């Protein structure tokens, strides 16, 4: 279900709130942008009078209101108690971001959303919060809190998606896991977390667009879907492997670069947790992938009908992910 034209104004105000937050020169301006962003996203959640939409909107509003309260309180204390204020400010941002150890609300809100709403929550809503956290990285004593949140997000995001059949919950814990890579990259380079976020947004949005096209919300629905089409059989599992960071897909490129940066900066302990969590996430991505290849029927694939518009759009969605398969060839040409 896409958004109606009447909700286009809320989407524009949501983007305006993001721009105000990342371009403001004062804490008050940042707070105004975050509040505008929150109040624009809630009408996009309650697109219909539905129990699940209302529950998700209420949970999202309460958590964001609590985070905003901590944000305003810490901003007022900044001149008198700078260290305590900065710590409280970072805590409020981690809470609003949905990173561990304040991750409990994120999968529950995701369970009541449609796929277009989930795309906004997992991509656009993280931009101003990650930007403000990067502003706070100038304080050395906050780096320990950011590293702790990154390690916690890595393990919780990996272990949380193991025993679930809900695709939205799997994507939610996957987002928490990827937040760990972005948080740890803030301590190294501001430009690098932007690069990682770009790759993460493209790949996760591609997967959720495919889920929205096929209208699948559980693992059983995905397995029972049309297995007679080679495009359907291959696109979703290969994109999931790309999201998990399996080489040589596009999702491996930013992880490869971050691993090199962590080794150069001698951050071996966070690296061990990040790599261990990536192996666990690859396990439940492979659990989904193996069903597609086991249930594939070659005879039915050959005799399936050709659908040019669907082939064109799906090929366009996944072109970014598969482009990097040919990246090693560039090193041979140089």
285-311: pLDDT as tens digits: 888 887 777 765 544 444 444 455 555
Write down the pLDDT at residue 263.
92
- On the question of pLDDT at 322 being above 80, the answer is no
Phi/psi of residue 218, each to 5°? -125, 165
Tell me what pLDDT residue 234 has: 74
Query: Which segment of 113-117, 123-127, 301-305 scores lowest on mean pLDDT?
Result: 301-305
Tell me the pLDDT tens digit for each residue of 281-291. Answer: 998 888 888 77
Q: How many CB atoms lie within 10 A of CB 317?
A: 18
How much of the chain exceeds pLDDT 70, in percent?
Answer: 84
Q: What's the rounded mean pLDDT across residues 53-77?
A: 92
SS3 assignment for the chain? CCCCHHHHHHHHHHHHHHHHHHHCCCHHHHHHHHHHHHHHHHHHHCCCCCHHHHHHHHHHHHHHHHHHHHHHHHHHCCCCCHHHHHHHHHHHHHHHHCCCCCCCHHHHHHCCCCHHHHHHHHCHHHHHHHHHHHHHCCCCCHHHHHHHHHHHHHHHHHHHCCCCCEHHHHHHHHHHHHHHHHHHHHCCCHHHHHHHHHHHHHHHHHHHHHHHHHCCCEHHHHHCCCCCCHHHHHHHHHHHHHHHCCCCCCCHHHHHHHHHHHHHCCCHHHHHHHHHHHHHHHHHHHHHHHHHHHCCCHHHHHCCCCCHHHHHHHHHHHHHHHHHHHHHHHHHHC
**Quick one: pLDDT at residue 128?**
95
Backbone angles phi, psi at 166, to 5 degrees: -90, 125
Burial class (CB in 10 A: 0-12, 13-18, 19+), 43: middle
Lowest mean pLDDT among 77-86, 134-143, 183-192, 220-229: 220-229
Per-residue pLDDT at 288: 80
Please say if the pLDDT value at position 250 is more than 60.
yes
Which pLDDT score is estimated for 306? Answer: 44
**What does the pLDDT read at residue 316?**
61
Rounded to whole angstroms, the Cα distance separating 282 from 15 reads: 33
Instruction: Of 168-182, 238-252, 283-297, give the range with the top mean pLDDT.
Output: 168-182
- What pLDDT score was predicted for residue 320? 63
In this prediction, residue 151 carries a pLDDT of: 94
User: pLDDT tens, 8-64?
Assistant: 888 999 999 999 999 998 889 999 999 999 999 999 998 777 788 889 999 999 999
Paired with 166 in beta bridges are 218
Note the pLDDT of residue 272: 94
Return the pLDDT at 323. 64
pLDDT at 333: 52
Residue 196 pLDDT > 60, yes or no?
yes
How many domains is the chain partitioned into structurally? 1
Instruction: For residue 106, count CB atoms less than 10 angstroms from its CB and return exposed for 0-12, middle for 13-18, buried for 19 or more.
Output: buried
Q: Which domain, by its residues, includes 12? A: 5-333
Whose CA is closest to 53, among 12, 7, 20?
Answer: 7
The model's confidence at residue 237, banded by pLDDT at 50, 70 and 90, is confident
Predicted local distance difference test score (pLDDT) of residue 201 = 92
Q: How many angstroms separate the CA atoms of 205 and 219, rounded?
A: 18
Q: What is the pLDDT of residue 291?
A: 74
Q: Which one, of 251, 250, 268, 249, lies nearest residue 259 by Cα?
A: 268
Q: Which residue has the higher pLDDT, 8 or 102?
A: 102
Q: Which of 145, 140, 175 is nearest to 161 (CA)?
A: 175
């Amino acid at each position: 279900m896409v958004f109606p034209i009447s909700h286009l104004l809320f989407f524009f105000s949501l983007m305006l709130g993001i721009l105000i937050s990342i371009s403001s020169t004062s804490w008050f301006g940042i707070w105004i942008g975050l509040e505008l962003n929150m109040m624009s996203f809630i009408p996009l959640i309650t697109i219909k009078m539905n129990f699940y939409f209302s529950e998700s909107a209420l949970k999202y509003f309460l958590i964001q209101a609590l985070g905003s309260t901590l944000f305003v309180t810490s901003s007022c204390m900044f001149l008198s108690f700078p260290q305590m204020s900065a710590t409280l400010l970072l805590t409020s941002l981690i809470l609003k971001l949905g990173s561990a150890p304040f991750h409990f609300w994120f999968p529950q809100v995701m369970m009541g959303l449609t796929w277009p709403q989930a795309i906004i929550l997992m991509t656009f809503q993280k931009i101003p919060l990650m930007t403000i956290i990067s502003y706070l990285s100038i304080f050395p004593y906050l780096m320990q809190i950011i590293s702790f949140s990154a390690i916690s997000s890595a393990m919780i995001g990996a272990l949380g998606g193991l025993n679930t059949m809900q695709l939205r919950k799997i994507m939610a814990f996957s987002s928490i896991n990827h937040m760990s890579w972005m948080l740890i990259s803030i301590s190294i380079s501001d430009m690098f977390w932007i690069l990682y976020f770009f790759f993460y947004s493209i790949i996760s949005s591609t997967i959720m667009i495919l889920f929205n096209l096929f209208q699948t919300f559980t693992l059983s629905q995905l397995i029972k879907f049309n297995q007679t089409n080679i495009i359907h059989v291959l696109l979703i599992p290969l994109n999931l492997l790309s999201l998990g960071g399996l080489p040589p897909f596009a999702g491996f490129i930013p992880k490869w670069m971050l691993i090199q940066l962590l080794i150069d900066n001698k951050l071996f302990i966070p690296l061990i947790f990040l790599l261990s969590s990536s192996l666990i996430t690859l396990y439940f991505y492979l659990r989904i992938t193996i069903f597609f290849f086991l249930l594939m029927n070659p005879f039915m694939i050959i005799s399936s009908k050709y659908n040019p518009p669907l082939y064109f759009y799906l090929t366009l969605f996944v072109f970014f992910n598969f482009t990097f398969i040919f990246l090693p060839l560039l090193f041979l040409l140089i």
